[in-house]
Structure 1
Amino acid sequence: MNDAAQQDDGTQDGDEGSMSRRSVLWTTAAVTGAGLGLGGLGSGTAAAATPTRSPETTPEAQAAAPKRQGRTMVGVPFDRRSTVRVGIVGLGNRGGSMIDLFLAVTGVQVVAVCDPVKAKAERAAAKVTAAGQPAPAVYTNGEDDYENLCKRGDIDFVYVATPWDFHFEMAKTAMLNGKHVGVECPIALQLDQLWELVDLSERTRRHCMQLENCCYGRNEMRVLRMAHAGLFGDLLHGAGAYNHDLRGLMFDPGYYEGPWRRLWHTRLRGDLYPNHGFGPVANYMDINRGDRAVSITSVGSPSLGLAEYREKNMPAGDPSWKETYIESDRTISLVQTAKGRVIRLEHDVSTPHPYSRINSLGGTKGVFEDYPARIYIEPDHTNDSWGDFAKYAQWDHWLWKEHANPPGGHGGMDYMLVFRLMQCMRLGLVPDFDVYDAATWTSPVPLSHLSIKAKGAPQQIPDFTRGEWKKARSGMDSENPEKA
């Protein structure tokens, strides 16, 4: 499988062997009310609850920060520990492969695994013992058994790789039980949920992180260091995307194990998956570390791709014929920052398109564009000819210099993420990104939907840091702490 195909496998995993009762509720809502407003979208076991911060309120209300209940998590280090004890929730495509990387990192013990499909949990447990570790506890008693995993006293970090519908409740449960938690993207689907995770992180003093693997790509980390060294001059604009033809996978019941991924196209119109594109560019521009994302304006194309694919490929009587798709085949969003910079985000998983995250950055001295990687900066390049990005390997991040041939998928970025996170926990360091980054990178999910519904009207992005963004601080552009 090529890297483009693996990218989806690496970030949008399902751990269910069949449709859960929550998925059945979602299916009913999707079929009977395809134009459902975000105010009606619940989460977890409280699917019918009224959100505490309705996404249908004014932009000003959206941006207003609730009163802080705890203390900021900006700059808060992990407690140092010799061994990081990990619990893994969700053992499908993503979780079932990521466990290999946790086991490959020195100083990490997988203590417990959880998946309602017993065979998956047993395969994961066998990997743990094959790696020479004690047999982990196994939790397979239904979709809520993760709660018992989170209650254990011998777990430091909970890793969540389940369908999106579960992310918010699982992150909450982990923090309320005293665990740091890392979640595959998106971390939540509503603004009130994002605020709740921010507040919980501050109250519980536990980190809640969006485990955005693309931030650890070799190109992304090289551009990060070059940007911070001033090679692009004053930064002006950037772009990121998730443009990936997923039509075949979304109609494949064996890949996503049910319709949960496709059903999101019956609920929202905006960018369902902004994190891969937004995270790296936010790092380049020091978002939440001297600049912040202020507003988002989104437009969307008609929703035709999935219905057209179904017409050509799905038999009469297939359950998908009951679905009405409203998700724009392509969404384009413009994010404005406090410093006046512009970030363009794109999302398209419903039409034919080569895989691309765009990943571009421009400033007063030049520009980088990916897919394919190319660069044009002064004084190195002239005559309107792109330069060879490979010639800038001296700017590789220390992670890529120390681990030139990392194991795992997605070109090694998955391993880099796991290695660095576990290193921060072992050494008692501040994580590379935090709950404020998680909330910011995910906020385009509900806000792009609202902007498209409002015919492109700008939506205010909340300041999840409550003013802390004004203070410059370190992020992913780190030095090797074990060689300092």
Structure 2
Amino acid sequence: MSNSRRSFLKKSGLTGMGLTAGMFAAFASDEDALDQIKEQAQRNPAPIFNMSGYAAPKLEKVRLGVVGVGNRGFDAVARMSKIEGVEIKALCDLRPERLKLAKDLVTPLGHKPDLYHTDPEAWKKLCERKDLDLIYILTPWALHTPIAVFSMEHNKHVCVEVPAGKSLEELWSLVLTSERTQKHCMMVENCCYDFFEMTTLNMARQGFFGDIIHCEGSYIHNLTEYMFSKEHFYQMWELKEAFQRKGNLYPTHGLGPLCQVMNINRGDAMDFLVSVSSNDFVLGPMAKSLASKDSFYKPFEGKSYNGNMNTSTIKTKKGKTLMVQFDVSSPRPYTRIQLVSGTKAVALKYPEPGRYATSHEWMTENEVKELEEKYKPAIVKKIGEVAKQVGGHGGMDFFMDWRTIDCLRNGLPLDQDVYDAALWSSISPLSVWSVANQSTSIKVPDFTRGHWKSNSPVDISLSKGGTTGVLV
């Protein structure tokens, strides 16, 4: 184990807890590792502090630092600048030109951010500042956990893009650091705030579906044009991710909202997972074709890329099932599926518009409109039109940011906690192991260490809070 890794584990509280051996073994390909992996996945060290339902002290003003001002980072800065009670004080990116664009955008709104750039570790200087409350992390995946852990160690709450970490080792470090520092670590899973997803969550809370038996989600989105673009993903980082591991590399968009509907971590828990992947029939040939015309693509030729389609099936402690798919290279229409199937009713978002049924036939368009109006969440009634106006994937990004700031300012628990971040992200390394071992089942770690039995279900509502204004 390298000295840098030992240092990271020591700071994150992993060493001395009997966790590290199993985490490293989870990436071994030999069959002898299976028993050890399952044993480690079931290991239950005593929680330091239960972060589920935790409400941090109120913040009259949320002083914000943003790390990563590329595509999604720039949009996040724009959204945050429109929320009352936010002061954007610091921005960080390797590219000074990106920072200038962001600063020019927010300066007329009264924000005067300091800029950190060029040095690959400039983010540390930002996170060390004592005048920040929240660090928003929108970097390539490999930096998510290191920056999040460092930020919490320096007394900051964290919002981190998906996935929150790439390995079980990293995800446990997020959990243990959040518990020890009592700082929020929220993975900003924006799909939990889509209109359909919030409506079905409200319907589930009111018993519309009865007992939920099975759910299906996905991230099926043809990204080949972006992955091979020289400009879109800085330094081609996402294409590099595609040949480093084979499995469901991006599970949380379809998974997160369904976990909330099914009360995962809050009344039920994942038990085990089975994952299978197809071969790659697109990325490798595309890399070869492009390399024959442009030497820039030569380093990407001849790689063993992740398969086109990964399907992972999960069973919960209470005997319910979840199916999650991942495909970013097939010529298919975009879908997250979002199927919620219960004993009384079913809902299906894609293909849009969303549909509902309480028998063997889908409801009519008028019946759906009446149903969605009846179960429209209070948060949608309050800022739904504003969210659509500000935008961000149809408004769900703004919903997410506004709700997070409102909770921090009112001293309320966040809708997503560190256990959600860790669990939803863990599907990636678990699926990678399962695929590498002929789709053998693998136990899913219980990051709550038994607290899922008593944690309260999440309820995205305005029963409390809802006082933060919108500056548009």
- Identify whether the pair has TM-score above 0.5, normalized to the shorter chain: yes
The answer on whether the counterparts of 2:175 and 2:447 sit within 8 Å (CA) in structure 1 is yes
In structure 2, distance between residues paired with 1:426 and 1:316? 52
In structure 1, distance between residues paired with 2:439 and 2:207? 34
Counterpart of 1:9 in structure 2 is: none
The answer on whether the counterparts of 1:43 and 1:166 sit within 8 Å (CA) in structure 2 is no
CA shift at 1:438, angstroms?
A: 0.3
**Superimposed CA distance per residue, residues 263-284 of structure 1 (whole angstroms, 9 cap, x where no aligned partner):** 1111111000000011010000
The answer on whether the counterparts of 1:43 and 1:169 sit within 8 Å (CA) in structure 2 is no
Would you say 1:398 and 2:381 are equivalent positions? no
The answer on whether the counterparts of 1:213 and 1:413 sit within 8 Å (CA) in structure 2 is yes
Counterpart of 1:435 in structure 2 is: 418
CA shift at 1:81, angstroms?
A: 1.6
In structure 1, distance between residues paired with 2:201 and 2:103? 37
CA shift at 1:385, angstroms?
A: 3.8
**Of residues 139, 159, 178 in structure 2, which corresponds to 1:182?**
159
Counterpart of 1:233 in structure 2 is: 210
**Superimposed CA distance per residue, residues 388-417 of structure 1 (whole angstroms, 9 cap, x where no aligned partner):** 333322212211111122112201000000
Would you say 1:155 and 2:132 are equivalent positions? yes
**Superimposed CA distance per residue, residues 357-377 of structure 1 (whole angstroms, 9 cap, x where no aligned partner):** 111100111211111244343
State how 1:437-456 maps to structure 2 within 5 Å: 437-456=420-439
State how 1:132-171 maps to structure 2 within 5 Å: 132-133=110-111, 135-171=112-148
Secondary structure, counterpart of 1:209 in structure 2? strand
Q: Any gaps of 5 or more consecutive residues in structure 1?
A: 1-38
C-alpha change, 1:69 and 1:440, in structure 2 (3 Å) is closer
**Of residues 169, 175, 181 in structure 2, which corresponds to 1:204?**
181
Counterpart of 2:65 in structure 1 is: 87
- Of 153-162 and 324-333, the range deviating more from structure 2: 324-333
Secondary structure, counterpart of 1:203 in structure 2? helix
Counterpart of 1:6 in structure 2 is: none
- Of 392-401 and 209-218, the range deviating more from structure 2: 392-401
Counterpart of 2:470 in structure 1 is: none
**Of residues 397, 400, 403 in structure 2, which corresponds to 1:420?**
403
**Superimposed CA distance per residue, residues 94-122 of structure 1 (whole angstroms, 9 cap, x where no aligned partner):** 11111011111101111111111111112
Amino acid at match of 2:355: I
Secondary structure, counterpart of 1:416 in structure 2? helix
State how 1:14-93 maps to structure 2 within 5 Å: 53-54=23-24, 55=26, 56=28, 57-58=33-34, 59-65=37-43, 67-68=45-46, 70-93=48-71
**Of residues 369, 384, 394 in structure 2, which corresponds to 1:411?**
394
The answer on whether the counterparts of 2:196 and 2:354 sit within 8 Å (CA) in structure 1 is no
In structure 2, distance between residues paired with 1:165 and 1:44? 17
Counterpart of 2:149 in structure 1 is: 172
Secondary structure, counterpart of 2:379 in structure 1? helix
Amino acid at match of 1:395: Y
In structure 2, distance between residues paired with 1:201 and 1:222? 30
The answer on whether the counterparts of 2:406 and 2:465 sit within 8 Å (CA) in structure 1 is no
**Of residues 352, 357, 370 in structure 2, which corresponds to 1:377?**
357
In structure 2, distance between residues paired with 1:377 and 1:385? 5
Over the aligned positions, Cα root-mean-square deviation in angstroms equals: 2.2
The answer on whether the counterparts of 1:44 and 1:165 sit within 8 Å (CA) in structure 2 is no
C-alpha change, 1:257 and 1:44, in structure 2 (3 Å) is farther
Counterpart of 1:14 in structure 2 is: none
Counterpart of 1:309 in structure 2 is: 286
Q: Alignment length, in residue pairs?
A: 439
C-alpha change, 1:129 and 1:344, in structure 2 (3 Å) is same
Would you say 1:255 and 2:235 are equivalent positions? no
The answer on whether the counterparts of 2:45 and 2:449 sit within 8 Å (CA) in structure 1 is no
Amino acid at match of 1:118: P
The answer on whether the counterparts of 1:182 and 1:209 sit within 8 Å (CA) in structure 2 is yes
C-alpha change, 1:154 and 1:273, in structure 2 (3 Å) is same
In structure 2, distance between residues paired with 1:127 and 1:250? 27
Q: Any gaps of 5 or more consecutive residues in structure 2?
A: 10-14, 468-472
CA shift at 1:331, angstroms?
A: 0.2
CA shift at 1:328, angstroms?
A: 1.5
Counterpart of 1:110 in structure 2 is: 88
Would you say 1:126 and 2:109 are equivalent positions? no
The answer on whether the counterparts of 2:264 and 2:270 sit within 8 Å (CA) in structure 1 is yes
Would you say 1:325 and 2:339 are equivalent positions? no
Amino acid at match of 2:379: L
The answer on whether the counterparts of 1:78 and 1:424 sit within 8 Å (CA) in structure 2 is no
In structure 1, distance between residues paired with 2:340 and 2:144? 31
In structure 2, distance between residues paired with 1:482 and 1:195? 31
Counterpart of 2:223 in structure 1 is: 246
CA shift at 1:339, angstroms?
A: 1.0
**Of residues 296, 304, 310 in structure 1, which corresponds to 2:273?**
296
C-alpha change, 1:97 and 1:223, in structure 2 (3 Å) is same
The answer on whether the counterparts of 2:152 and 2:158 sit within 8 Å (CA) in structure 1 is yes
Counterpart of 1:362 in structure 2 is: 341
Amino acid at match of 2:342: G
Counterpart of 2:171 in structure 1 is: 194
The answer on whether the counterparts of 1:266 and 1:323 sit within 8 Å (CA) in structure 2 is no
Q: Identity of aligned pairs, percent? A: 34
The answer on whether the counterparts of 2:47 and 2:449 sit within 8 Å (CA) in structure 1 is no
C-alpha change, 1:117 and 1:454, in structure 2 (3 Å) is same
Secondary structure, counterpart of 2:219 in structure 1? strand
In structure 2, distance between residues paired with 1:141 and 1:472? 43
Amino acid at match of 1:403: I
Secondary structure, counterpart of 2:81 in structure 1? helix
In structure 2, distance between residues paired with 1:288 and 1:146? 32
In structure 2, distance between residues paired with 1:122 and 1:166? 22
Counterpart of 1:21 in structure 2 is: none
**Superimposed CA distance per residue, residues 260-307 of structure 1 (whole angstroms, 9 cap, x where no aligned partner):** 101111111100000001101000001001001111101110112102
TM-score, reference length from structure 2? 0.88
- Of 135-144 and 64-73, the range deviating more from structure 2: 64-73
**Superimposed CA distance per residue, residues 128-157 of structure 1 (whole angstroms, 9 cap, x where no aligned partner):** 211123x11111141111001111011000
- Of 343-352 and 467-476, the range deviating more from structure 2: 467-476
4+ residue runs over 6 A deviation: 42-47
The answer on whether the counterparts of 2:379 and 2:461 sit within 8 Å (CA) in structure 1 is no
Amino acid at match of 1:471: S
CA shift at 1:168, angstroms?
A: 1.1
In structure 2, distance between residues paired with 1:340 and 1:302? 31
